[in-house]
Copies of this chain bind each other. A is one copy, B any other.
C-alpha cells in the first residue's frame, strides 16, 4: 500500500542487516577475547539472571531465547561445565530447572556491564534524536513484521 513494498523495503532491510551483523560480530568477538564466551551463552546467562532464584526450565529458556529445546541442551551443558549454572530436579522428573550459580551470577554481572559499555561505544556516534527516532521506528517495524507473520499463520491455520 505505502512505500515500504519493493525496492525501498529491500534497501531498508539491507541497511538494518548491515548494522546488526556488524554489532553482533563485534560483540561476539569481544565476548570471546575478553571472557572466552559467546553471544548465545551470554544470552542464556542473561535470561537466567532475569529469572532469579527460581530459574527456568529448559523449555522456558528456549522460549525466551526463541531457539529450539535442543539448542538449549547444548548451551546448558557447556555453561554447567563452566560452573556458571546448575540443574535443579523438581517433582516432575521430566523437567530440568536451570539456575545461575553464585559464581555464574557475579560472572554475568561483569559481562553485562562490559556488554553495555560496548554497545554504548558502538552507538556513541548517534545523537539523542537519532536514538529516539530509531527506537520508535524500529518498534513500528517490529509490529509490522509481527503482523505479517501473524497473518500468514492465520491463513495457514484456516
Chain A residues within CB distance 8 Å of chain B: 1-13, 15-26, 66, 116, 119-128, 130-135, 137-149
Which residue from chain B places its CB closest to the CB of A17 in the assembled complex? B20
Given that A20-B16, A119-B10 are known contacts, is A137 also in contact with B133, CB under 8 Å in the complex? yes
Given that A15-B138, A139-B15, A141-B19 are known contacts, is A148 also in contact with B121, CB under 8 Å in the complex? yes
Judge whether A137 and B137 touch: CB under 8 Å.
yes
Please pick, from B1, B18, B138, the residue contacting A19 in the complex, using a CB distance under 8 A.
B138
Which residue from chain B places its CB closest to the CB of A30 in the assembled complex? B152
When all copies of this chain in the complex are counted, the total is 2
* In the bound complex, CA of A125 to CA of B20 (Å): 21
What are 14 sample pairs from A and B whose C-beta atoms fall under 8 A apart? A2-B126, A4-B120, A4-B128, A9-B116, A9-B119, A9-B126, A12-B138, A16-B19, A19-B145, A123-B145, A125-B143, A126-B137, A134-B137, A137-B137
